[in-house]
Amino acid sequence: MYNSKIAGLGFYVPENIVTNDDLTQWMDTSDEWIQERTGIKQRHWIADDSNETSATMGAEAAKIAIERAGMTKDDIDFIVFATLSPDYYFPGCGVQIQDMLGMDTIGAIDIRNQCSGFIYGLATADQFIKTGMYQNVLVIGAEYHSNGLDKTTRGRGVSVIFGDGAGACVLTRTEDQTKGILSSHLHSEGKHAEELVVKSPSIKHWVPEIIDSNGEDLSYFPYMNGTFVFKNAVVRFSEVIMEGLTANQLSPTDIDLFIPHQANLRIAQFVQQKFKLSNDQVYNNIMNYGNTTAASIIIALTEAWEKGKIKDGDLVVLAAFGSGFTWGSTIIRW
Ligand code: UT7
């Protein structure tokens, strides 16, 4: 069986920066509250007059990743696109990437696993490579949150957290069994689906019903039971990291770099303390980008790599938790 390894990384965020202070023009919030509870200082939101979307940002990130892999679009065999904010209800963004990058008629799938979307996407690509079906798979995580948030005081518990952006990597075949993705660990618990959800429009509750409510029906805005999600996140993060390490006969002391999904700096710090990791062993960038959901891990991984924080042979651990609930980890020997 083959192994898969990351050959190229890239990320793209829209130019427009929204600081915590900027948010106070729309809602009753403060820089102090947001930084204390989440660690976030600013996020990038697509500007109102921009035509950017999840697919266009994903395409920009993908171009960088493909170039850094020393490849061209024609080397890619398959596209995996993770997002909860696609351009269309259907089809998914993956097919748009095939078109935007002028690729041959290769296959493309979308992954609907929210904050864990990139981990699920990477695991999916890894399986295609391990079985020998494909040699190079493009994995993208991208989100355009800002157009779907309730930017009034009513929605402040959710809207201050999320940011727009995209990241991508090229996963490639290697015959070196000691390098690359060592294992992936995926979980779900659907009974908590409504604790972090955008309920509508859905086929069972379609657009005319929302319009008929004359503004009463707000089910198209994200809802999050923040405290409940936080409590589950710290437990599931810890479990799934240990599961991944144990599966590879490793322990927390073996971790060179831990990159958590950037949900909340306090969650990352809790996990850091639990596993007694130093600041050098954890990479966080939620301060600058907010929570970009399926894009967050791949943006952080790319940024950490760009800063020279990942060396050949390092043990890199990725982990995510979010809506579904879904959660997962990826153990990588770089
Ligand atoms: O990525 C997917 C997974 N997501 C997560 O893992 C997120 C997990 N949850 C969290 O990160 C935290 O629960 C939040 C950051 C979302 C919220 O923090 P919290 O400490 O749980 O605050 P809270 O929701 O309990 O609200 C505390 C107070 C409330 O006021 P009262 O009722 O105590 O008077 C809120 O109305 O803070 C108020 N509040 C705000 N105040 C200023 C909520 N949002 C804001 C805000 N600015 N933006």
* Domains along the chain with CATH numbers: 3-177 (3.40.47.10), 181-333 (3.40.47.10)
Check if the beta carbon of residue 144 is closer than 8 Å to that of residue 46. yes
Mean per-residue pLDDT for 113-129?
98
Which residue lies with its CA nearest to atom 44 of ligand 1? 157
Give me the sign of the Cα torsion angle 318, 94, 70, 167. negative
Cα distances (Å, whole numbers) of residue 146 to 46, 61, 169, 177, 235: 7, 19, 24, 42, 29
Question: Model confidence over 283-333: pLDDT tens digits?
Answer: 999 999 999 999 999 999 999 999 999 999 999 999 999 999 999 999 999
Which residue lies with its CA nearest to atom 13 of ligand 1? 226
pLDDT grade for 67, boundaries at 50, 70 and 90 = very high
Question: Model confidence over 208-264: pLDDT tens digits?
Answer: 999 999 999 999 999 999 999 999 999 999 999 999 999 999 999 999 999 999 999
pTM beyond 0.85: the answer is yes
Check if the beta carbon of residue 13 is closer than 8 Å to that of residue 141. no
Angle at 158 between CA 47 and CA 49, to 5 degrees: 10
Measured in Å, residue 114 CA sits from the centre of ligand 1 at 19
Mean per-residue pLDDT for 127-149?
98
Cβ count within 10 A of residue 206? 11
Query: Quick check: bond before 86 cis, omega within 30?
Result: no
Cα distances (Å, whole numbers) of residue 244 to 123, 183, 328: 13, 7, 9
pLDDT more than 90, % of the chain: 99
Tell which atom from ligand 1 comes closest to the C-alpha of 293.
Answer: 1
The alpha carbon of 149 is separated from its chain's Cα centroid by a whole number of angstroms, namely 18
Which residue lies with its CA nearest to atom 9 of ligand 1? 226
Tell which atom from ligand 1 comes closest to the C-alpha of 229.
Answer: 8
Q: Is 291 a catalytic residue?
A: yes
Measured in Å, residue 233 CA sits from the centre of ligand 1 at 15
40 lines ligand 1 (CB under 6 A): no
CA–CA separation, 1 and 18 (whole Å): 47
**Stated length of the chain:** 334
Pocket perturbation via mutation, ligand 1, pick of 43, 230, 262 by most ligand atoms within 8 A of CB? 230
Contacting residues for 58 by C-beta, under 8 A, at least 6 apart: 12, 81, 83, 93, 97, 140, 141, 142, 166, 168
230 lines ligand 1 (CB under 6 A): yes
Give pLDDT, residue 1: 85
Check if the beta carbon of residue 248 is closer than 8 Å to that of residue 182. yes
| Residue spans of beta strands (DSSP E) within 195-256 | 196-197, 223-224
DSSP assigned state of 112 = -
Q: Is 261 a catalytic residue?
A: yes
69 lines ligand 1 (CB under 6 A): no
Give me the sign of the Cα torsion angle 162, 156, 16, 42. negative
Check if the beta carbon of residue 9 is closer than 8 Å to that of residue 138. no
Token pair recorded at residue 212: 């008929």
